Amino acid sequence: MPGVNKRVLVLHYHEIWLKGGNKNFFLSRLIAAVKRTLEDLPNQRVEHVADRLLVAVPEEALLPLMIERLQKVFGVTYIGIAWEVFGGMPEMVDCACRMLDPMKPRSFRVRAKIADPVLGLRTMGLERELGCEILTFLRSKNADVQVRLKDPEVTCWVEAIPGKILVYAERVPAAGGLPAATGGRLVMLLSGGFDSGVAAYKMMRRSAHLTFAHFYGGASVSRGSSKPVAERIVRTLTPYQFTSRLYLISFDSVQRQIVGGARESLRVLLYRRMMARISREICRPERALGLVTGDSVSQVASQTLHNLAAVDRGLDLPIYRPLAGDDKEEILRLARRIGTYEISCEPFEDCCPRFMPRSPAIFSNPDELDEAEKGLDIEGLVTLGLEGAQVMDFKYELGQVAVREGLPHRFEKLLDHRKSLRPATPNPPAPVVNP
Ligand code: ATP
Ligand code: MG
């Protein structure tokens, strides 16, 4: 391909531009993320020149894999698949013509970004001169080719930066957002469904580093446990943030106490409140600043504005609901793009529909839920949930996700502390129902 030029990927970022005094912090994290995502590939070199990153491509065959990986790096807005041209205008013309020739465009334009004056030309002059040469070349093959400044079939981009001229005709969108894990931690309530994986992605894209909490019930004859589904979703999401922790919490015994001790129509809301309370405790050892859920307003009965407000009462930490205003169609589109859709299509036993009320409350309020919880030993149930937790650590390195199991030290300390608070004579347990 184009002469003796060198293959290079041009990574553009956008929002980091707005980051005044913190720009260097975000940039260094972006560069580290780009290096880490390519660390197992040979001769990877990343340069920061004139507000873009240049990634050398050691072999043409690696190009698709490199692009696929870099598209997952938060902070990168788009990737130009470029050639670095050595020489002047004739070499630029040669490179651009060889690149556009196989694309057989009926219309094209040249767009230049000049951060360093080259060949004494300004933007317009370079676009015009290179455009004329390309037009002459393409018309020698097809007399109908036109220059079209608006909506052409192909754009030939030229970026002139100190010491380098980059030319490309293909650029692909990347993930956008802000560099991963630069904004602090949150605990994500992850079900096996479509919504929570997408909500996680949206918050990771806004720089939150997520720890996941999944609540599971027993598997049934026809459907397996939701645990492996949650694990696969975390495995799929980990390359975006490099490390993830997943708390797997058995919810069966907690649910049975709620079923035995509280009004039927409020059950799902009480399950949700309980999940949020247990997750809030997980925030402590994780030093997390809030919770995230995949709720979408009015999608189901538990997500009416009344019920969401009732569930949140008394939680005293922020609950982020990044899908609050999204339609299911939009959510599913994103689930397909990030790779969680197929995983959530698997049949699994979700814990919430178990012991489902025949007629769930639609307009509950916090007082009603507080009243319904009066017969329950709330703190005892939180401890019960935490005690049964299993913890998995996921790490993305050398292009693979590795998993390790074991309770983190800070979580063990939390458990010891909660056990020491247990009353000497526990409250009488609520009657347990075996539906
Ligand atoms: P979908 O609606 O596509 O089945 P979902 O993840 O939104 O998936 P919902 O039943 O709508 O599931 O639950 C709303 C939110 O409550 C979830 O997005 C999630 O944040 C939380 N949630 C529900 N079930 C669980 C669970 N078993 N473990 C952890 N969080 C859960
Ligand atoms: Mg949902």
User: Whole-angstrom Cα distance, residue 274 to residue 109?
Assistant: 59
- CB distance 191 to ligand 1 below 6 Å: yes
Shared-domain flag, residues 228 and 351? yes
Shared-domain flag, residues 189 and 145? no
Nearest protein CA to atom 18 of ligand 1, as residue: 294
For 81-112, what is each residue's pLDDT tens digit?
999 999 889 999 999 999 999 999 999 999 99
| Residue 179 forms part of a structural domain | no
| Residue 430 forms part of a structural domain | no
| Residue 434 forms part of a structural domain | no
Domain boundary among 142, 173, 204: 173
Chain centre distance of CA 351: 25
User: Whole-angstrom Cα distance, residue 266 to residue 372?
Assistant: 8
Please tell me the distance between residue 422's alpha carbon and the centre of ligand 1 in angstroms.
Answer: 30
- CB distance 196 to ligand 1 below 6 Å: yes
* Nearest ligand for residue 210 CA: 1
Nearest protein CA to atom 23 of ligand 1, as residue: 191
Nearest protein CA to atom 7 of ligand 1, as residue: 195
CA dihedral over 217, 223, 227, 230, signed as positive or negative: negative
| Residue 313 forms part of a structural domain | yes
The total number of structural domains that make up the chain: 2
| Residue 180 forms part of a structural domain | no
Q: Which residue has the higher pLDDT, 246 or 358?
A: 246
Phi then psi dihedrals of residue 61, to 5 deg: -65, -20
Cα-Cα-Cα-Cα torsion 357, 362, 367, 372, nearest 10 degrees, comes to: 0
- CATH for 309: 3.40.50.620
- CATH for 48: 3.30.2130.30
Shared-domain flag, residues 195 and 169? no
- CB distance 155 to ligand 1 below 6 Å: no
Does 435 score more than 50 pLDDT? no
Q: Which tokens hold the place of 342?
A: 């197929």
What does the pLDDT read at residue 270?
A: 94
Chain centre distance of CA 66: 18
For 418-429, what is each residue's pLDDT tens digit?
988 877 655 555
Least reliable range by pLDDT among 118-127, 185-194, 249-258: 118-127
Residue 199 CA: which ligand 1 atom is closest?
Answer: 18
Q: Which tokens hold the place of 143?
A: 């007399």
189, 247, 343, best to mutate for ligand 1 pocket (most atoms within 8 Å of CB):
189
DSSP alpha helices (H): ranges in 81-178? 89-100, 123-139
Shared-domain flag, residues 202 and 158? no
195, 216, 273, 331, best to mutate for ligand 1 pocket (most atoms within 8 Å of CB):
195
Please tell me the distance between residue 144's alpha carbon and the centre of ligand 2 in angstroms.
Answer: 52
| Residue 1 forms part of a structural domain | no
Shared-domain flag, residues 101 and 204? no
Please tell me the distance between residue 24's alpha carbon and the centre of ligand 1 in angstroms.
Answer: 37
CB of 145 closer than 8 Å to CB of 174? no
Please tell me the distance between residue 302's alpha carbon and the centre of ligand 2 in angstroms.
Answer: 9
DSSP 190-232: --SSHHHHHHHHHHHHTTPEEEEEEEE----SSSEESHHHHHH
- CB distance 430 to ligand 1 below 6 Å: no
Shared-domain flag, residues 124 and 204? no
Shared-domain flag, residues 215 and 342? yes
Domain boundary among 139, 173, 207: 173
For 279-298, what is each residue's pLDDT tens digit?
999 999 999 999 999 999 99
For 356-393, what is each residue's pLDDT tens digit?
777 888 998 999 999 999 989 999 999 999 999 999 99
What does the pLDDT read at residue 351?
A: 74
| Residue 349 forms part of a structural domain | yes
User: Whole-angstrom Cα distance, residue 148 to residue 102?
Assistant: 19
Residue 216 CA: which ligand 1 atom is closest?
Answer: 27
Contacts (Cβ under 8 Å, ≥6 apart) of 136: none
Range of the domain at 210: 185-420
Strands 400-405, 390-397: parallel, antiparallel or unpaired by DSSP?
A: antiparallel
Comparing CA positions, the residue from 111, 350, 139, 125 lying closest to residue 230 is 350
Q: Is 9 helix (H, G, I), strand (E, B) or coil?
A: strand
Nearest protein CA to atom 11 of ligand 1, as residue: 295
Please tell me the distance between residue 135's alpha carbon and the centre of ligand 1 in angstroms.
Answer: 56
Q: What proportion of the chain, given as a percentage, has pLDDT over 90?
A: 80
Shared-domain flag, residues 160 and 201? no
| Residue 427 forms part of a structural domain | no
Does 430 score more than 80 pLDDT? no
Shared-domain flag, residues 190 and 168? no
Does 76 score more than 90 pLDDT? yes
For 138-148, what is each residue's pLDDT tens digit?
999 999 999 99
- CB distance 112 to ligand 1 below 6 Å: no
CB of 343 closer than 8 Å to CB of 191? no
- CB distance 2 to ligand 1 below 6 Å: no
Phi then psi dihedrals of residue 394, to 5 deg: -110, 135
Shared-domain flag, residues 118 and 239? no
Phi then psi dihedrals of residue 271, to 5 deg: -60, -45
Nearest protein CA to atom 1 of ligand 1, as residue: 193
Domain boundary among 173, 205, 229: 173
What does the pLDDT read at residue 429?
A: 54
- CB distance 193 to ligand 1 below 6 Å: yes
Nearest protein CA to atom 8 of ligand 1, as residue: 193
Please tell me the distance between residue 323's alpha carbon and the centre of ligand 2 in angstroms.
Answer: 9
Q: Which residue has the higher pLDDT, 16 or 251?
A: 251
Shared-domain flag, residues 29 and 88? yes
Instruction: Compute how many other C-beta atoms are within 10 angstroms of the C-beta atom of residue 221.
Output: 6
Indicate the average pLDDT of the chain.
Answer: 92
Burial of residue 364 (number of CB atoms within 10 Å: 0-12, 13-18, 19+): buried
Instruction: Compute how many other C-beta atoms are within 10 angstroms of the C-beta atom of residue 284.
Output: 14
Nearest protein CA to atom 31 of ligand 1, as residue: 191
Shared-domain flag, residues 113 and 211? no
Q: Tell me which residue has tokens 């009657």.
A: 431
Does 307 score more than 80 pLDDT? yes
